[in-house]
Structure 1
Amino acid sequence: MTDTPGWDEPFVAELGPLRSLQFDGLTVQSVMSVVEPDALALDYTRAMMGFLLFNPHPRHIVMVGLGGGSLAKYCLRTLPETRFTAVEINPAVIALRDRFGIPSDDDRFRVVCADGADYVRDCEDAPDVLLVDGFVAAGLPPRLGSADFYADCCRALTPGGVLVVNHWAGDSRYAVYAARLREAFDGRVLAIGAEDGDNRISFAVSGPSFPPSRGQVLGRSAALSALHSFDVTDIAQRVLGRLDRMMGRRAGGARIES
């Protein structure tokens, strides 16, 4: 274990062309292809990139939870006008950054060793996108599922900014977290599933530009597909499917669920 109680000691595992970050030998936290180190190897990370369907030109992205840096590396390569700040509480995770090809800090990229909830609460440089993927061996840290944290995220974002949260649907408190997220963002929340596990990716928008129209999603998907190596159309179809269900419930007068 690390010197600080409550933090897990990470280790790197190799399986053929894949390199993974793990805490307990049972749950994989991050996966990198050694052949394509900047690719998004897991579907949940590709699903999280769906924020581009809501905000295709973010100026500044803040991510809570560095892991193996898959999303950071991908965004740095494909969004050249975007700054990226990764906030990681566990210094032992940061110490492994070279094993995953995470670049050194520079004008566009920095890694901050801090509690993500504290960082978001005190954030002065409002991000356009907040990515929250802060799992430890025991699951989602309680602070990252709290009502206060989601309210702080909403306040921290620019108008029209997007919060993206990776939840584990198998967590007994998932419904509680989802309800808190909806309350913090006044229902401006949409969630899609990932294909390679029980990950549930929630998108919450901080302004009135929600929900996007079907035409907006399709238009952005077409434009983004030429720029990205993952199947943007597939993510867009999941988003549209959820939008259709949300609109159907709204038309029927039922409470919208994420």
Structure 2
Amino acid sequence: MSHFPPLHRFADLLAGSLTGKPFLYEEGGKLSLSFDISTVQSRMDPAQPDSLVLGYTRTMMGCLLFNPKPRRITMIGLGGGSLAKYCHRYLPDADISIIEISQEVIGFRNEFAIPADSARFHIHCGDGAEHITNSSAEIDILMVDGYDIDGQAKSLCTQRFYDDCFDALDAQGVMVVNMCGGDRQIGSYVSRIRHSFNDNTVVVQSEDCTNKIVFAMKGNGLRFSEKQLLAQARYLEKHHPISLQTTARMLTASLRNGYFLSRQKNHGYQISS
């Protein structure tokens, strides 16, 4: 989810948002999915349906810096399928499972050119938190981007959920979470993630500066040096059309300065700017 879309045909957008249901609209040649007129859940360039238009999605793909060849990817939240389509195209050896609670959102898959289900690509209609609790697969990369009209789903922010995410990951697994930049509860959510992941957590500003992206490692991924991460990014950019060096620099800056997350007495962790 990204904030403050440009408004086009305001009356049509307002009418759509009042239903409380997901709706589509076109702006500047791009197709967008929204729940209300103040946010964009997903955006696609029809000429390049596999490209990552929104900056936060490009930042989330920084998880490849820690695992460039994942075998199993699980995504909670489909939206317009930007991350799902990207991974389907550029990670052909990965088995990809997407859990989306809204059948109406899944119903837009053709409009967003989302691939059909196959041996390695599956969309399931269900509750993401329940799916993780009952998961028996060892996930390499877990992407959490589950939003509705009220914001991030509450079931995807609990201590139990983050504990279950840790348990569901492979020994060197990575969880990456998209968090709305304006959510005042971010500090509490990150505190829970840090607790579940034994402090192996780092938060960065998304590429478009609207959201915060949290990376949490089950293994020792955060022990990579800046030189190692940048070298990995340069190598990956030979195969991926996104600036992973940008994300690598943001990650190492957050790890190096040590001030992005600061513990506040009685208030968990406070996000610093």
**Aligned equivalents of 1:205 and 1:257: distance in 2?**
20
- 1:50-61 correspondence runs (5 A): 50-61=62-73
Q: CA shift at 1:216, angstroms?
A: 2.2
**What is the aligned counterpart of 2:166 among 147, 151, 154?**
154
**Residue 192 of structure 2 is aligned to residue 177 of structure 1:** no
The counterpart of 1:219, out of the listed 214, 223, 231, is: 231
Specify the SS of the correspondent of 2:26: strand
Q: Structure 2 unaligned runs (5+)? A: 1-18, 263-267
Matched, 1:74 2:86: yes
Pair 1:63-2:75 in alignment? yes
Query: Is the contact between residue 157 and residue 189 of structure 2 (CA under 8 Å) also seen in structure 1?
Result: yes
1:66 counterpart letter in structure 2: L
Query: How many angstroms apart in 1 are the aligned matches of 2:30 and 2:256?
Result: 37
Aligned-pair Cα RMSD in Å? 2.1
> In the alignment, what sits opposite 2:109?
97
* Counterpart Cα distance in 2 of 1:70 and 1:59: 19
Q: Give the C-alpha shift of residue 45 in structure 1.
A: 0.1
Q: Is the 8 A contact 2:59 2:207 kept in 1?
A: no
**3-state SS of paired residue (2:248):** helix
Please give the TM-score of this superposition, normalised by the length of structure 2: 0.86
Contact 2:190 2:269 in 1 (8 A): no
AA at the equivalent of 2:87: C
Q: Which amino acid aligns with 1:70?
A: S
CA distance in 1, matches of 2:178, 2:224: 21
In the alignment, is residue 44 of structure 1 matched against residue 56 of structure 2? yes
Partner residue of 1:32?
44
Whole-Å Cα distance in 2 between the matches of residues 210 and 44 of structure 1? 20
Instruction: Note if contact 1:246-1:256 (Cα within 8 Å) is conserved in structure 2.
Output: no
Structure 2 distance, partners of 1:117, 1:56, is 26
Report matched runs for 1:193-208 at 5 Å.
Answer: 193-208=205-220
SS at match of 1:160: strand
Q: What residue number does 2:9 align with?
A: none
For 2:260 and 2:31, how far apart are their aligned partners in 1?
43
Q: Aligned pair 1:141/2:153, yes or no? A: yes
- Paired residue secondary structure (1:47): helix
Aligned residues of 2:226 and 2:249 also touching (Cα < 8 A): no
Amino acid at match of 1:231: S
Q: Could you list the runs of 4 or more consecutive aligned residues of structure 1 that deviate by over 4 angstroms after TM superposition?
A: 247-250, 255-258
Deviates more, 1:192-201 or 1:145-154: 192-201
Opposite residue 12 of structure 1, the aligned amino acid is L
Please point out which of 163, 171, 179 is paired with 2:175: 163
Give 1:15's aligned residue: 27
1:214-253 equivalent positions in 2, closer than 5 A? 214-246=226-258
Give how far 1:197 is off: 4.2
Identity of paired residues, percent? 40
Q: Give the counterpart letter for 2:57 in structure 1.
A: T
Distance in 2 between residues matched to 1:105 and 1:248, nearest whole Å? 40
Q: Contact 1:160–1:206 at 8 Å: present in 2 too?
A: yes
Q: Which has the higher strand share?
A: 2
Are the counterparts in 2 of residues 246 and 257 from structure 1 also a CA contact under 8 Å?
no
Partner of 1:132: 144
Aligned to 1:55, the other structure's residue is in SS state: coil
Out of 186, 198, 222, the position equivalent to 1:186 is 198
7-16 or 53-62: bigger deviation: 7-16
Answer yes or no: is the 8 Å Cα contact 1:188–1:211 preserved in 2: no
